[in-house]
Each structure stands twice: as C-alpha cells, then as structure tokens.
Structure 1
Amino acid sequence: MKKILTAATILLLMLTACGGNDSESQDLEDITFVLDWTPNTNHTGIYVAQDQGFFEEEGLDVEIIMPGEASADQLIASGKADFGISYQEGITEARIQDVPIVSIAAVIQHNTSGFASPEEKGITSPKDFEGKKYGGWGAPLEEAVLSSLMQQEDADVNEVEIVNIGDADFFTAVERDVDFTWIYYGWTGIEAELRGQSINMVYLTDYSEKLDYYTPVIATGEEMIENNPETVQKFMNAAAKGYQFAIDNPEESADILIEAVPDLDPELVKASQEWLSPKYQDDAEQWGVQELEVWENYAEWMLDHELLEEPLDAEAAFTNEFLPEEES
C-alpha cells in the first residue's frame, strides 16, 4: 500500500509540475528586443526590467539581441524584432522612405551628444573645426550638422577634412587618425574622465534648439501597434518601470547591467549610470514622453539642409499612447 501511494504521489507531482510548466510557458509571450549597439547605459532600463521580473509580470519573455549585419531599424520594420533601440534622426529618414517604424518612448529627454576632441587640439567652438580632420561614419547628416554649427560662426565646412573611421575607438582615432569625432558624453565622455584624459565638447544643443532631438528612443513597427497594441502596452509598462528603477537606483541598476553583460568595464558602467540616470527623464513630466514640437523642429532642420526629400508627418512618427499612466 505504501509503495502504491508513493508511486501515485510521484505521478501526481510530475503531472502537476508538467502542467505548471506548460501553463507558464503558454502565459509568457516571446518578445525580441534589438539593441542599436553594444550594451551600455542607454539600455539599462531594459536589463533592469528583465532582471527584476517586470517583463514577466506583464506576461512577456523578452530576449535582448544585437543587430548584426542588419540595423535595428531594419529588423524592427521587417518584423524580425518586435521592439528595439533607434534614434529620432533614423526614424525621420526611414519614414520619408515609407519604412513603417514608430518611436514609442524617448530613452533620454535631451540630446547629450556632441563633437569631442582631446584638449590639446584646441577645439572649443565650431570655428575651430576649420583646418581639422573629422572622423565619422560616412553619413550625409554629419556634414550637414558640422556645416550648420560652423555657419553660426562664419566658418566654412569645406575647410574640414571629413574621413570615414567607421566603428573605430574614439581614443585610438583621435590619437592616430583624426582631430575630433561625434560622441555621447554619457559613455565616451565619462570614459575619458576615468582615463584622466581631458577633452573639449561642442554640444549640438548649445548651438541649435532644433538639434535637441530624441536620441536614442525605443521603437516598434506600425504593424505591431495595429495588430498587438496590448503587447506594446505590456512592454512599455515594464520598460517604464525599468527606467524609473534606473532613475531612482543608479548604483543597483549599474550592478544589474554589469551582471548581465560581464564584458563591460564595471567602473565605466557605474560612473556612466550615475551621470545618465538623472538625464533619462530630466525636465519631462515622466520618463519616455515625446513632444510633437521636437519632432517637427528636427524634421524641419533636416528638410532645410536637404537631408529629406519631403516634409515629415511628425504625428505619425511617434506616440505617447503606450506610456503608462502616472500614479497619483
């Protein structure tokens, strides 16, 4: 009798366990999130949401992937990734070409990028770009931005030698190949601080309000929004919690990112996170909010500089619809 009860109990436990796993597996929806670049503190909120179970609470099983040969925008637009990291400038260009990608949250409220150079190069304003060598990635946008800033100081962009350095490391490039490049201060600038290397920054936002655009953003495809709005809402509920956690707990958030991506420099991650956490939301009413004026201003700037073939329908390029309601 004892043997029979034991066997029955074991069978019952096995069936319960199997049933539980099936139920759990069925309850979680598989989601793919593609990064724009190697993992860094722009992405912390996503890793926090994954680590803290915020995605799971919403019924999502999120896999974070790298873009590979195809860009994040291409993967999102084609449906090969459900969500990902993009940029206002990229989405603006994509939508003019009828690529159905939409920004659903601003990761950082203001543009923290700018042109960086070693202090000894003496580049402290756009005028100083003349006679110097700029290292970029070969996009027409770069020359347009350089020209826009330089024109304000009666400088000529034709006096700048522009070379394509691709993915070259900033510190190696400015020591060996070029005088200045375009960086995000929150990562490369902080790394310069840690290295004890003094750099000069020429921030885009110091010279043009229209260049204070959203970079980076979280994006998805129009088809995802149309066919699976509940999934988009669930994803954004969790992502918003993740970034709010990173705003409130920079040190713990940095540890989460370091544990998830052990190849990162822990000192850099912690210093970058401390610098960036207050800038996620900054002066916005809540994390992720985007304003129509920002999208219109930047698209107008691109059109004025012949980077767009036609005006952008800015209202279709982004939405705040899926940002969770603030708790009262």
Structure 2
Amino acid sequence: MKKLFFSLFALVVLTACGNEEAPSSEGNAVKKPKQEEVTLVLDWTPNTNHTGLYVAQDKGYFEEAGLHVEIQLPGEAGADQLVASGKADFGVSAQEALTEARVQDIPIVSIGAIIQHNTSGFASPKDKNITSPADYEGKTYGGWGAPVEEAVISSIMSKEDADVNQVEFINMGNTDFFTAVERDVDFAWIYYGWTGIEAELREQELNMQYLTDYSEKLDYYTPILTTNETMIEENPATVEAFMRASTKGYEYAINNPEDAANILIEAVPDLDAELVKASQEWLSPKYQDDAEQWGHQDAQVWKNYSEWMFDNNLLDKQLNVEEAYTNEFLPEQ
C-alpha cells in the first residue's frame, strides 16, 4: 500500500511540475518532462562500487525516472555530513559509518546495499608469511587511525588466542597499499574487489584474511546508498525514483560487466581501464549475490554488526535498527 502511494504521489508530482516544450522533427512542439535536480555524493573517488550509478546516468535511467542527478566527490566534508545536513540528497556510505552516525542522532538512513556481503579483509604480500590473524603478532599494521580498526583486529586475533597488543599500529595517511607494504607496513585493510584485483594485475601474490571468515557479525553492508530523514518524509517519490533508476543501473552492471566497465571508464577517463574491467568482472556477481534482489538489506545484518560495535565499546548506546535502514524504496519484484 505504501509503495502504491509513492507511485501515485510520483505521478502527481511529475504532472504538477509541468512540461517543457521541445521541437519535433516535423516542427511541432513536443512536451518534454521537467527533470528534478538532485545531488549524489560518493564516498571516495569513482570505482566499481559506483558503476551502477554511472550506468543509470549513461543509459538514461535517472532521466526516465524524472531526475537529473549530479554525481559529486565528497571533498573534506564527507558524504554523510552533506547528506545529513541536506546539502546533498543522496550519498554513498557504509554500515559502520551510518551506525555511528545514527547513535549520535544524525538523521541519515540506508536505502540500499550496493554489495550484499563484506568483501574486505586484511591483506599482506605473500612473502610476509602472514597466513592467519595469529601472525599479526610482531607485525606492523597500516591504517587510517579509526578505533574500529584495532577493535576488528583484536576480535579476530582473539579467536586464535593472539594478543593485539603485540601489533604496532601506524597511520598510512594517503599512502597506497603497495607503497606502504614495501616501506614500513606488513598488512593493511583492503577491499579485494579493487586493491586485491590490482595486486593480481601486478602479479603480486597476497595473503588475505576476509572478515567474513572469522565472524558473521562482521558481514555488514559496505557500501550502501543513503538519504536523510527529511527526504524520506517530504519527498518519498524522489527517493523511490532514485532507487528505481539505481536498481536498473546495478542490474545492468550485474548482467553486462564488460559494457558497464566501459561506461565507467568513459565517464571517468583517469581510471585505469584494465583495473576497472578486471574489478568489474570480479564484483558484478557480488552486487546482489544471494539476496532476493539487488539492494535488499536484512535486519539481522544490521543487528549483528551494531551489537558487535556496542560490545567492542565503539558505540555509546545500542542502535535502533528499524530507523537505520529501509527496503521500502526498492522496486517491487
């Protein structure tokens, strides 16, 4: 019933907005629907996590949904802050960041999981001989200085009776993984779909400990699409239109990885084309994976990870899971 309301509401809004006149080939005026302008802020520089969004733009799916979407880089403010403040309508984030935001009463909401399972983990060059979390003892970890890093490493090391206090933590800053592990770092946290694939192209063998191999509570959604509570309350038709078009974009990328990769490369020419194509081939099957549809989120995943964060002193209070995410704006199957 709610979805029917959103669909009818969208029809009324688009009709009320009026039409623009455009000349036809015969010289007669043809009515062109007016596009609603919205902004989408990425979480990082463009990569294959974002392919479906660029496909939706290139293939005209956003336009068909009545939207003109401007894709922006996050800048210093970050996507979460821009979305929460209403300076951006939609954003790309991750479950861990949104969970921290929600318990601080920051009004952002996850409206879709871009990738169904966590593909991240701790990587190291094979010659470092790090084959399990127990081997982190006496090694140097390179990260970005967030409390969650030590908590995750401690959590998986404790399963092997290893001591996180025996790990040296340093901040890598903007240093890339490959430079860091050649210089002063033994292992780091990566997304295999990008950095791991780049290692394959470099013919550099990695040892990898995926988080999901050590705890189901660490199988959280990263990345996700977000909006703010005001958009949901005041502009539900816009949110539904955005998710309808985004879904089409990711479904296309699932079924057409090579063409989708070319669309991303054309949109962002500075990207390494070989890496984009290889990454896309690896990642496309993982967008939806075993979910009933692309973008679907499960309450248990949100509950598991928020409980893990609370138990590891990363949250001041428990997360209200029902307010943190919604599947309401996904297209009906």
Distance in 2 separating the partners of 1:84 and 1:22: 34
1:176 maps to amino acid? R
Distance in 2 separating the partners of 1:60 and 1:316: 26
* Counterpart selection for 2:40 from 24, 30, 33: 33
The answer to whether residue 249 in structure 2 is matched with residue 276 in structure 1 is no
The answer to whether residue 184 in structure 2 is matched with residue 171 in structure 1 is no
* Aligned length in residues: 311
* Counterpart selection for 1:45 from 46, 49, 52: 52
The alpha-carbon deviation at position 269 of structure 1 amounts to 0.3
For normalisation by structure 2, the TM-score amounts to: 0.91
List 4+ stretches of structure 1 deviating above 4 A. 15-18, 20-24
The residue that corresponds to 1:153 in the other structure is 160
Distance in 2 separating the partners of 1:22 and 1:119: 63
**C-alpha RMSD of the superposition:** 1.6
**Deviation per CA, 1:113-141, whole angstroms, max 9, x where unpaired?**
00000000011100000000000001000
SS in 2 for 1:168: coil
Q: In the superposition, relative to structure 1, how do residues 59 and 192 fare at CA in structure 2: closer, same or farther (>3 Å)?
A: same
The alpha-carbon deviation at position 22 of structure 1 amounts to 11
Q: 5+ unaligned residues in a row in structure 1: which ranges?
A: 1-14
**Deviation per CA, 1:257-292, whole angstroms, max 9, x where unpaired?**
000000000000000000000000000010000000
The alpha-carbon deviation at position 166 of structure 1 amounts to 2.0
* Counterpart selection for 2:200 from 177, 193, 201: 193
* Counterpart selection for 1:313 from 310, 320, 328: 320
The alpha-carbon deviation at position 177 of structure 1 amounts to 1.9
The residue that corresponds to 1:54 in the other structure is 61
SS in 1 for 2:269: coil
The residue that corresponds to 2:91 in the other structure is 84
SS in 2 for 1:215: coil
* Counterpart selection for 2:79 from 72, 83, 88: 72
Distance in 2 separating the partners of 1:165 and 1:271: 26
Distance in 1 separating the partners of 2:123 and 2:295: 27
SS in 2 for 1:201: strand
For normalisation by structure 1, the TM-score amounts to: 0.92
Structure with the higher fraction of residues in helix conformation: 1
Distance in 1 separating the partners of 2:30 and 2:41: 27
Distance in 1 separating the partners of 2:29 and 2:131: 60
The residue that corresponds to 2:4 in the other structure is none
* 2:22–2:30 Cα contact (<8 Å) kept: no
The alpha-carbon deviation at position 167 of structure 1 amounts to 2.5
SS in 1 for 2:208: strand
The alpha-carbon deviation at position 16 of structure 1 amounts to 5.7
Distance in 1 separating the partners of 2:176 and 2:182: 10
SS in 1 for 2:98: helix
* Counterpart selection for 1:116 from 100, 118, 123: 123
The residue that corresponds to 2:234 in the other structure is 227
The residue that corresponds to 1:10 in the other structure is none
Q: In the superposition, relative to structure 1, how do residues 227 and 201 fare at CA in structure 2: closer, same or farther (>3 Å)?
A: same
Q: 5+ unaligned residues in a row in structure 2: which ranges?
A: 1-20
Q: In the superposition, relative to structure 1, how do residues 220 and 22 fare at CA in structure 2: closer, same or farther (>3 Å)?
A: farther
Distance in 1 separating the partners of 2:237 and 2:180: 46
* 2:22–2:31 Cα contact (<8 Å) kept: no
The within-5 A match list for 1:6-21 is 17=23
